């Protein structure tokens, strides 16, 4: 198993109507990534979709990917693409449950948002993940 130092929370920075398949196609065809950006993506209805086994490296945070597990919710922007925390109650519940399970597997891993890494100039995940999940 990989050494996991961080459990990283993301938003897709898309409308909540975006589909998992459309996002995966963007990574493959536009970004030319071999692996997805996240290990898990949470749909507005709360369904967590596993995109990649946690034993493999995803493309969530450049320079840190070998040491992280990436979890994202679909959304994070309003119609004008301005960052906004628009998580549904179902997404919040699923994210908390998933992070709790992963924290049990990796008790020393820090939970934080994409924006909390050095050199990142994004608002992702459009809320303060460190504060929200400090109790886990």
Kindly report the CATH number that applies to the domain delimited by 6-132: 3.40.80.10
Determine the straight-line distance between the first and last CA of the chain, rounded to whole angstroms. 22
pLDDT digits (tens, 9 = 90+) for 49-77: 999 999 999 999 999 999 999 999 999 99
pLDDT digits (tens, 9 = 90+) for 99-115: 999 999 999 999 999 99
pTM score above 0.85: yes
Domain boundaries, the chain: 6-132
Q: What are the CA-CA distances from residue 35 to residues 54, 100, 133 (Å)?
A: 12, 25, 27
Q: Give the full edge-to-edge strand order of the sheet including 68-73.
A: 48-50, 40-42, 68-73, 6-11, 110-113
């Amino acid at each position: 198993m990989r050494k996991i130092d961080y459990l990283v929370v993301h938003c897709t920075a898309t409308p909540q109507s975006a589909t998992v398949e459309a996002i995966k196609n963007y990574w493959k065809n536009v970004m030319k990534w071999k692996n997805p950006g996240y290990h898990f993506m949470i749909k507005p209805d709360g369904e967590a979709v596993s995109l990649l086994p946690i034993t493999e490296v995803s493309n969530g945070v450049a320079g840190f990917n070998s040491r992280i597990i990436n979890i994202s919710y679909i959304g994070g922007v309003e119609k004008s693409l301005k960052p906004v925390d628009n998580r549904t109650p179902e997404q919040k519940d699923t994210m908390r449950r998933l992070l709790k399970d992963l924290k049990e597997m990796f008790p020393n891993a820090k939970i934080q948002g994409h924006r909390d890494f050095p050199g990142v100039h994004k608002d992702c995940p459009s809320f303060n993940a460190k504060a929200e999940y400090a109790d886990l």
